[in-house]
Amino acid sequence: MTAALTIDGVGVAFAGVKAVDQVSMIVEEGELRVLLGANGAGKTTLMDLVSGKTKCSEGRIYLYDNEITNQEEHRIARAGIGRKFQIPSVFRELSVRRNLEVASCRNPRVFANLRFGLSPASRARLDEVSALTGLSEVADQIAGGLSHGQTQWLELGMLIVQDPKLLLLDEPTAGMTQAETHKTADIIKGLRGLHTILVVEHDMAFVREIAERITVMHLGRVLAEGDMAAIEANPDVRRAYLGSRGIMAGAA
Amino acid sequence: MRSRRSLDYAAYAVFILIIMLAPLVLEAFWLNRIAKFLVYGILGIAVALCWGYAGILNLGQGLFFGAGAYMIGMSLKLASATSLQQGSVKPVPDFMLWNAAPGAPTELCCINHASFLWIPFQWEGFGTFMGIALPAVIALLLGNVVFRKRVSGVFVSIITLALVLLVRLVVIDLQPITNGFNGLTDLGDFKAFGIDFDPYEVATYYLVAVVLALSLIGARMLVETRAGLILQATRDDLNRARYLGFDVPAYQTFFFVVSAIIAGLAGMLYVVVAQFVSPTFMDLSFSISMVVWAAVGGRGSLLGACIGAILVNIVAATVSDTPAFVEAWKAVLGLIFVLVVLFLPHGLAGFASDIGDRLTRRRDGESESQPQPVAAPGFVPTRGSTR
């Protein structure tokens, strides 16, 4: 197996508080890794560090053999990391289809994009992704008018169109109904093996549905790593969450 | 969707046809007046490109207009009859002579400390080139600083606003080479392609009309490219565009420069038509007027903003001709702006496209008996809502 994402001892402090402290982890190619932890455990900050939103004060991050530590966000994105935000962000005044078209522009340079239309290959890919995310029917609608779930799927669709090596999904089911959550799980399961995926999630039902390997974070550090059963049995994890019926509280 | 677009293109074609045929019915005085308004129409395109498509509200568009105006103005000043009759074989602007130190040679090289800057403007081609190049360079530098530093929204407006006022002060202060408050008057005719563009001749009108048509079509084609699409994406969500791998400042700067070039062109044409250059081109009220024109016409539409600029000015000219409104027409303009913002947030263009939508829908409804696709739950039409 090759390591798709290697995080080597990264850390960052905000106003003296170590939000992420000496975190190291390796995500294998094609793996679907879930990042778990209470609020303030540093999950989103870790994603910020990987995607370049926040600069690391220590440590290194590699995408395959390519070091991406502290590069500009658009360069990291071009290196092959697609990020979905916690609050879904799409281009609200453009139609769904146009949103996907934006994502499908292969060359990021201004002058390379001074041409009309898309290649037939890109167009076929767009149709494929709209079908996968269930957005074919609303392709001509303005994205600002989509339901919450559809907006999330559109953002996910934009990332899939780009065919990134690594997908960072920050709470992809936040605010979704059960049916929507289930559909999201289906979409993500469909990507398994094609992309390496790192998901931050609180919804335990969802985590159970998709998780292979789980990394638990606590106060900016990695607390435990393993499959679902191992995590549930881990005494450190239980201790860290003592008093709140553990992190599995939401599972019931 | 397709019929919407062809309706759009039809509107462009009709508009261009109208401005091309207008000289058939206009007399010289109105021809000159309308040519001026067409120049404002070009400014409307520049504002719509920047504000509507890039989401950058530039409150200092007058800076680029002024830069274009001064550059060609310097050339036309040297081409005027009086500049050629100042006791030298080489032309010298009259205002430099009035203020020259006693005994100073009457040559551009050394009549005052900075007059040598005027030397290359003896060639009209240089003035014309600089009228495009200077706005472009200013926009490039400004864009690179502002957008790289991730300044956005109202702060860009404040910076551009401050900059245009600053440059205006500098221009007034550089009296020896700019003639300060008075600006450049008594200009020669612009000559190109072997034509003498007398401001009251049809040729001048057509010069403006053709540049307008080309700017309109060019800008429209530009926003139809993938780069234009990505630009609109950056307008809607800078971060999302950035995390899709686009170098957002590069897109913003590119279109900012294009908008500046169009404004610079407008500045040059204004000088050709009106035959004066004035620091008032860089007054705040002028830059804000441009924004109002674009808002009235619809900043989301290049054609809309262009027509908005022309219509508002026709109304303003008519109203200010009425003695009772000489002073009050600015209040009328303000009132129009308020009404548009309240009732037509997408301007006249939004209003027209709503009507167009309704018509095509009715026609589609008649030709096909199929029901309209039902909107998905939670779908709220956004057209007509304020941002």
Residues of chain B that touch chain A, judged by Cβ-Cβ distance less than 8 Å = 1, 222, 224-227, 229-230, 232-233, 235-237, 239-248, 250-251, 254, 373, 375-383
pLDDT, tens digit, 9 for 90 and up, residues B109-158: 778 878 888 888 888 889 999 999 999 999 999 999 999 989 888 999 99
Domain membership flag for residue B378: no
Instruction: For residue B255, count other CB atoms closer than 10 A to its CB.
Output: 26
C-alpha dist (Å) from residue A156 to A31, A177, A181, B30: 18, 17, 13, 57
How far apart are the C-alpha atoms of A18 and A41, rounded to whole Å? 10
Those residues whose C-beta lies under 8 Å from the C-beta of residue B70, and which sit 6 or more positions away, are: B171, B178, B184, B267, B277
Q: Which of A219-228, B2-11, B337-346 has the highest mean pLDDT?
A: A219-228
Q: How far is A219 from chain B (nearest CA, A)?
A: 27
User: Which letter does DSSP use for residue B93 in this model?
Assistant: -
- A113 to B236: CB separation less than 8 angstroms, yes or no: no
Confidence label for B369 from pLDDT (cuts 50, 70 and 90): very low
Please report the pLDDT score of residue B386 as a whole number: 36
| Residue of B226, B248, B257 to mutate when probing chain A, most A C-beta within 10 A | B226
Under 8 Å between Cβ of B259 and B194: no
DSSP class of B102: T
What pLDDT, on the 0 to 100 scale, is given for residue B2? 58
The three-state DSSP-derived secondary structure of chain A is CCEEEEEEEEEEEECCEEEEEEEEEEEECCCEEEEECCCCCCHHHHHHHHHCCCCCCEEEEEECCEECCCCCHHHHHHHCEEEECCCCCCCCCCEHHHHHHHHCCCCCCCHHHCCCCCCHHHHHHHHHHHHHCCCHHHCCCEHHHCCHHHHHHHHHHHHHHHCCCEEEEECCCCCCCHHHHHHHHHHHHHHECCEEEEEECCCHHHHHHHCCEEEEEECCEEEEEECHHHHHHCHHHHHHCCCCCCHHHHHC
pLDDT in tens, A60-92: 999 998 999 999 999 999 999 999 988 888 999
Q: What does the block give as tokens for A113?
A: 């994009």
Question: Coil, strand, or helix at residue B80?
Answer: coil
**Using CA atoms, how far apart are residues A231 and A36, in angstroms rounded to an integer?**
10
Distance between CA A20 and CA A136 in Å, rounded?
A: 40
CA nearest to B268, candidates B68, B93, B56, B81:
B68
Beta bridge partners of A197: A32, A167
Mean pLDDT of A216-222: 89
Q: Do B245 and A162 touch (CB under 8 A)?
A: yes
Cα of B172 to nearest chain A Cα, Å = 38
Quick one: average pLDDT of B286-295? 90
CA distance A106 to chain B (A): 9
Q: What is the pLDDT of residue B254?
A: 95
The pLDDT value recorded for residue A114 is: 84
- Strand pairing of A196-200 and A213-218? unpaired
Write the DSSP symbol of residue B323. Answer: G
Domain ranges of chain A: 3-251
Q: Which residues contact A170 (CB under 8 A, 6 or more apart)?
A: A43, A44, A47, A83, A84, A85, A86, A200
Nearest to B382 among A103, A142, A155 (CB): A142
pLDDT at A26: 92
pLDDT at B373 over 50: no
How far apart are the CA of A48 and the nearest CA of chain B, in angstroms?
11
Q: Which pLDDT belongs to residue B351?
A: 84
Interface contact A41, partner B, CB < 8 A: no
Judge whether B387 lies within some domain: no
- pLDDT tens across B320-331, in order? 777 777 777 778
- Contact criterion met (CB < 8 Å) for B378 and A93: no
3-state DSSP assignment of residue B264: helix
The C-alpha atoms of residue B335 and residue B365 are separated, in whole angstroms, by 39
Tell me the shortest Cα–Cα distance from A42 to chain B, in angstroms.
Answer: 20
Interface of A with B in 164-223 (CB under 8 A): none
Query: What is the tens place of the pLDDT at every residue in A130-178?
Result: 888 888 889 889 999 999 889 999 999 999 998 899 999 998 888 888 8
CB A233 within 8 A of CB A54: no
CB neighbours of residue B315 within 10 Å: 15
What secondary structure letter does DSSP report for B40? H
| Whole-number pLDDT of residue B1 | 52
Mean pLDDT of A108-125: 83
Chain A residue with minimum CA distance to B251: A110
Q: What is the pLDDT of residue B365?
A: 59
- Average pLDDT over chain B, rounded to whole? 85
Chain centre distance of CA A156? 9
How much is the ipTM here?
0.88
Residues in B touching A165 (Cβ below 8 Å): none
* Token reading at A206: 């969802």
pLDDT at B6: 83
Residue B306 has pLDDT above 90, yes or no: yes
- Domain A3-251 CATH assignment equals 3.40.640.10: no
- pLDDT band, very low/low/confident/very high, at A251 (cuts 50, 70, 90): very low
Q: What is the pLDDT of residue A246?
A: 46
Residue B72 CA to its chain's centroid (Å): 16
Burial class (CB in 10 A: 0-12, 13-18, 19+), B197: buried
Cα–Cα distance between B85 and B93 in angstroms, integer? 10
pLDDT in tens, B215-270: 999 999 999 999 999 999 999 999 899 999 999 999 999 999 999 999 999 999 99
How many C-beta atoms surround the C-beta of residue A22 within 10 A? 14
Least confident of A86-95, A204-213, A219-228, B200-209: A204-213
Chain B residue whose CA is closest to A160: B244
Q: Summarize pLDDT for A21-47 with one digit per residue, the tens.
A: 899 999 999 889 999 888 888 888 999
CA-based nearest residue to A2, from A165, A187, A191, A224: A165
Residue B372 pLDDT > 60, yes or no?
Answer: no
Question: Residue A29 phi/psi, 5° resolution?
Answer: -60, 130
Start-to-end C-alpha separation, chain B: 23
Number of folded domains in chain B? Answer: 1
Chain mean pLDDT for chain A: 86
Give the ranges where B181-301 is alpha helix by DSSP (H).
Answer: 202-224, 226-236, 238-243, 248-274, 284-297
The band of B87, judged by pLDDT with boundaries at 50, 70 and 90, is low
Structural contact between residues B293 and B312, judged by C-beta atoms closer than 8 angstroms: yes
Q: Does B71 map to a domain?
A: yes
Instruction: Give the CA angle between residues A12, A16, A18 to the nearest 5°.
Output: 40
Q: Do residue A146 and residue B241 have CB atoms under 8 angstroms apart?
A: no
The pLDDT of residue A119: 81
**Mean pLDDT score, A224-236:** 86
> Is the Cβ–Cβ distance between B381 and B333 less than 8 Å?
no
Residue B143 is part of which domain span? 2-366
**What is the Cα–Cα distance from B211 to B316, expressed in whole angstroms?**
23
SS3 content of chain B, % helix, strand, coil (to 5): 75, 0, 25
Mutate to test the interface with A, among B9, B221, B240, B253 (most CBs of A within 10 A): B240
pLDDT value of position B163: 93
